[in-house]
């Protein structure tokens, strides 16, 4: 998983670096998004069988969900930070912080996205196809189209425009990222709570002497 996390964005970046800084950095964002969402997908699906037992042992649903989220977010911060440093050394940008923000947003949004797909799609292979479709559409669809704005990573385009060219609407980018992140987190938490809620009709009998 760690090799996947590191190599996929690097391959995406290297493949388009010669086409100009814009395309190379954009591909790094998409590669980072795919790698982290896939790791989050696998992490979530591998724990689906264990979570009901932990819930019965007394752990709250929120602790299970947000504990996993925080752990994966730590990986996202590390991955996004690594590529932010790499690209800042390799590329000259008008506003380097906006390029770093685009990478961090790509990484951060990918965690709740992968976790949500992991809970909604029962099999890993099918979940990977869903993530490939989302990231692929985000890569090829014209950002000006409505479809692009419905996808989760649209905000990174405006951040990159500002970082590389000095243009782009930062307010729309931040609002889109914040709104999408909130919806993904809340939906994932709600599904977790519903599936792991205690059954009131089940009574746990205390052993008698």
Task: Please spell the DSSP secondary structure of 39-64, one letter per residue.
Answer: HHHHHHHHTTTTHHHHHHTT--HHHH
Q: Apex CA 70: angle with CA 54 and CA 7, to 5°?
A: 115
Across the chain, mean pLDDT equals 86
CA–CA gap between residue 203 and residue 114 (Å, rounded): 35
Prediction pTM value: 0.86
Tell me how far CA of residue 72 lies from CA of 77, 133, 182, in angstroms.
9, 22, 16
CA–CA gap between residue 185 and residue 156 (Å, rounded): 19
Q: Which of 79, 59, 71, 68 is nearest to 6 (CA)?
A: 79
Q: What is the mean pLDDT of residues 50-57?
A: 86
**pLDDT score of 113 more than 90:** yes
Runs of H (alpha helix) within the chain: 2-16, 21-46, 51-56, 61-90, 96-120, 124-140, 146-150, 154-165, 170-196
Tell me how far CA of residue 172 lies from CA of 53, 95, 107, 183, in angstroms.
42, 17, 19, 16
At residue 131 the predicted structure's pLDDT band, cuts being 50, 70 and 90, is very high
Q: What is the mean pLDDT of residues 109-114?
A: 96
Token readout for 131 is 């993530």
Q: What is the mean pLDDT of residues 131-146?
A: 87
Which residue is listed with tokens 């264990």? 50
Highest mean pLDDT among 8-17, 53-62, 72-81: 72-81
Q: What is the DSSP letter of 200?
A: T
Q: What is the mean pLDDT of residues 159-174?
A: 84
Instruction: Give the model's pLDDT for residue 5.
Output: 67
**pLDDT score of 163 more than 50:** yes
Report the length, in residues, of the chain: 209
pLDDT tens for 77-103 read 998 999 999 888 888 777 889 999 999
Instruction: Give the model's pLDDT for residue 177.
Output: 94
| Residue 31 near residue 8 (C-beta atoms within 8 A) | yes
| Residue 112 near residue 50 (C-beta atoms within 8 A) | no
């Amino acid at each position: 998983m760690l090799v996947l996390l590191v190599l996929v964005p690097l391959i995406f970046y290297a493949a388009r670096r010669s086409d100009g800084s814009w395309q190379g950095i954009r591909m790094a964002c998409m590669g980072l998004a795919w790698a982290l969402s896939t790791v989050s997908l696998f992490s979530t699906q591998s724990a689906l069988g264990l979570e009901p037992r932990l819930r019965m042992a007394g752990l709250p649903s929120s602790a299970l969900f947000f504990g996993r989220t925080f752990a994966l977010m730590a990986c996202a911060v590390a991955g996004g930070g690594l590529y932010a440093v790499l690209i800042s050394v390799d590329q000259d940008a008008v506003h380097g912080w906006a390029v770093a923000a685009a990478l961090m947003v790509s990484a951060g949004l990918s965690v709740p996205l992968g976790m949500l797909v992991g809970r909604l799609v029962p099999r890993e292979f099918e979940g990977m196809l869903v993530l490939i479709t989302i990231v692929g559409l985000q890569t090829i669809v014209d950002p000006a189209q409505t479809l692009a704005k419905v996808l989760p990573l649209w905000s990174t385009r405006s951040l990159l425009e500002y970082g590389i060219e000095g243009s782009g609407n930062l307010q729309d980018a931040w609002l889109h990222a914040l709104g999408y992140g909130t919806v993904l987190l809340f939906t994932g938490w709600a599904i977790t709570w519903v599936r792991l809620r205690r059954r009131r009709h089940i009574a746990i009998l205390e052993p008698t002497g």
